[in-house]
Structure 1
Amino acid sequence: MPADLLISAALVLSTLALTLVPPLSDLPLRVPVGLVMVLFLPGYALIAALFPHKDDLDGIERVALSFGLSIAVVPLIGLGLNYTPWGIRLVPVVVSLSIFTIALLAAAQARRAPLPAEERFSVPFRQSLRSVKDEMTADQTSRLDKLLTVVLVMAILSSVSALVYVIVTPKEGEKFTEFYILGPGGMAYDYPTEVASGEESIVIVGIVNHEYRPVNYTMLVEFNNRTMLETEATLDHNETWERPTGYVLEDPGPDQKLEFLLYREDNFTAPYRDLHLWVNVSPATGSRGTGGSGETLAERLRLI
């Protein structure tokens, strides 16, 4: 098998190993290898299968088409995965891209094999290295030319190293916490703002940690300045806490304030985030009063 196809297959297998094998999946190397897998290899394998002759395309055209076709093919594979039981997740995407790329590399090898050696496309790795070596050691090459060549190579290597470093160690973004209330259907509307005294209402309360560290949260639910519920949650970075919260309001009256207060790291001087609903509580109808229940207002609010 030609060297370019062997190297491509080795990169595909390396991507699989860096994704599926736990000790390797934590290495920073998986980021640059994954970028090559997503942005270059599928398109290169497709071009290699479609154009096995060395005169079909020149080198620049092959490289440009490899990037362009990869950007076109990867979303199509993701779209297909969206209609499968596996969905668009890391492992299914990597495995699908690997199967696609290996199949095209095999097709490229099958199409190149019958061709005469002088007509097959191949990447002249040895000739390129030899030409660079000859350029560096030729007697007619001036010291200035040699120096410029060394500087150019070092600049390219430095640029690639800087790119890898930026990708592997991304800068932290803005630190914040999401705190939200959804209606009983899980949407940002249809809140229970018109309720009857003694009847249960439900909202969905959510917290999302974007603080780049684990955070201890305390949420209080207050009605007419009385604490009805207190609950705690410890969330890692990017972790979500979402719970349906059922409550019963007993005091009839218009425009009463139901508050959801979020505190961080036991700092109760002021809420870190706060939300509220203005609710109209109508008098109870029928026999659904509170006289015989024996429950306090706090006892009738709960996390489901």
Structure 2
Amino acid sequence: MVAFRSLWLLLPRRVRQLPADLAAVVSLVIATNIAVLVPVIRETPLRVPIGLAFVLFVPGYAFIAALFPEADETPASATESTPPDGRTIVDDSDPDGWDDSIPSRPGIDGIERVALSFGLSIAIVPLIGLVLNFTPWGIRLVPIVVSVSVFTLGSTVVAAERRRELPVDERFQVPYREWYIAGRTELLEPDTRADAALNVLLAISVVLAVGSVGYAVMGPADGEQFSAIYLLTEDDDGELVADDYPTEFIQGESQELIVGIDNHEHKTTEYTVVVLEQDVEVVENETATSDGDTNTTVNKTVVRDQRELDRFSTTIAHNESWTHEYTLEPTMTGESQRIVWLLFPDGDVPAEPAMGDTEYAVHLWVSVSDS
């Protein structure tokens, strides 16, 4: 306890005097960055509820706090009061009793503050994403989290400074102490036994509701389980695209491409990729209808020769992708050569793998010449 107090005193005075609601905003921003960016923690479901609060409420709340640092009511004094239309009574010498030159403070109440926080958050985050779309960083997880964090912390600093400039009795404050005292009195000191029973039922209902929502958010159903393998190339800008594959080879020379794997198996999975080189012949078969008229042509692929070029393995976490720069060097020559990448989850590879042994495969047609 003493060590904690010593660390607290080491903080700048302005930080120690930060209002409780703004301190909670800063704490949630820090917690979100930890939950999203720290390798071990980002694997846990903890980032789901923290991320939802961060995106849907916190930026708007900080922005509203910067716009409206005042409390929602102007305190009355012995010599003045505030009528419904916003004017202030000062003395009996005024013909109508009100002074039109002194407006009331433009504060908003707690319900308006919460509603505007949700609404502005839903507007602010997409606008930040739109701006990022025109930057080199693009709309990615880390740039989004950092940008929203910077905006929120900047708004929090402005809100803290604007509140500090106001008299103490005019600053907005979250009455959490009053809420705690009222809730404690209502729960522990009920007026009647019926009120006590209702309080117990209410507490149980809240716990069950929070638990149900938390389970639904943090433990979603597994859904469909599948994997995927695909081929990519690198364009002139260094971006990975599914285009411009190498198709013309000279025997003994190699070309580069990218092999990508996606894991949606809802578990960490070990994959083995087997690369086959096939000399293929395409045979046309005609199919006749029942009345004897021929109207359909079906192409049949016949593998005349097959060789295993390579195999490699990797382990991928659930909902993660993995890319591998692969050097392709065919050994067979001809115009109808097919290179096949077979993906086997959990390392279950047959002794002589073929395309029918797995549902995950990708192929590339190439032409290989002698020189």
- TM-score of the pair, normalised by structure 1: 0.72
Identify the residue that residue 42 of structure 1 maps to in structure 2: 59
Equivalence for 1:274:
361
Equivalent residue number for residue 222 of structure 1: 277
Letter in 2 for 1:251: G
Matched, 1:60 2:111: yes
Q: Report the CA distance between 1:70 and its aligned residue.
A: 1.6
Which of 7, 19, 36 is equivalent to 1:2?
19
Partner of 1:147: 197
User: What letter matches 2:330 in structure 1?
Assistant: Y
In 1, Cα distance between equivalents of 2:233 and 2:197? 68
Kindly indicate whether the alpha-carbon contact (under 8 Å) linking 1:182 and 1:188 is maintained by their aligned counterparts in 2. yes
Deviations 1:186-232 (A, max 9, x none): 65455566x58859685745241413223231313222232151222
Q: Are positions 1:107 and 2:158 aligned together?
A: yes
Unaligned runs of 5+ in 1: 290-304
1:208 aligns with 2:261: yes
Q: 2:213 is paired with a residue of what secondary structure?
A: helix
**Contact 1:41–1:66 (CA under 8 A) maintained in structure 2:** yes
- Which of residues 168, 177, 190 in structure 2 aligns to 1:126? 177
Kindly indicate whether the alpha-carbon contact (under 8 Å) linking 1:209 and 1:235 is maintained by their aligned counterparts in 2: no
1:180 correspondence with 2:262: no
**Residue of structure 2 equivalent to 1:300:** none
Q: Percent identity?
A: 40
Pick aligned residue for 2:328 from 230, 236, 245: 245
CA RMSD of superposed structures (Å): 3.6
Give the letter for the 1:65 counterpart.
Answer: L
* Alignment deviations for residues 133-168 of structure 1 (CA, whole Å, 9 cap, x no partner): 3334566x4433332233223322333334334444
How far apart, CA to CA, are the structure 1 residues paired with 2:233 and 2:62?
Answer: 49
TM-score (norm 2): 0.61
| Structure 2 residue aligned with 1:71 | 122
Task: Out of 181-190 and 37-46, give the one that drifted further.
Answer: 181-190
Shift of residue 250, structure 1, vs aligned partner: 1.8
Offset of residue 40 of structure 1: 1.4
1:184–1:244 CA distance, 2 compared to 1 (3 A): farther
Deviations 1:2-49 (A, max 9, x none): 322232233334444555667766776454333322221111011111
Cα 1:97–1:184 change in 2 (3 A) is closer
Deviation at 1:59, TM superposition (A): 1.9
After superposition, what is the alpha-carbon deviation per residue over 1:100-135, rounded to whole angstroms, capped at 9, x for unaligned? Answer: 222222222222234344433222112222222333
Q: Over alpha carbons, which structure has the higher Rg?
A: 2
Residue 322 of structure 2 aligns with an amino acid whose one-letter code is T
Q: 1:102 to 1:146 in 2, by over 3 A?
A: same
Q: Which residue does 2:316 correspond to in 1?
A: 236
Any idea what the Cα deviations from partners look like across 1:243-302, whole Å, max 9, x if unmatched?
3524365235xxx36151415224326431334456677xx6xxx55xxxxxxxxxxxxx
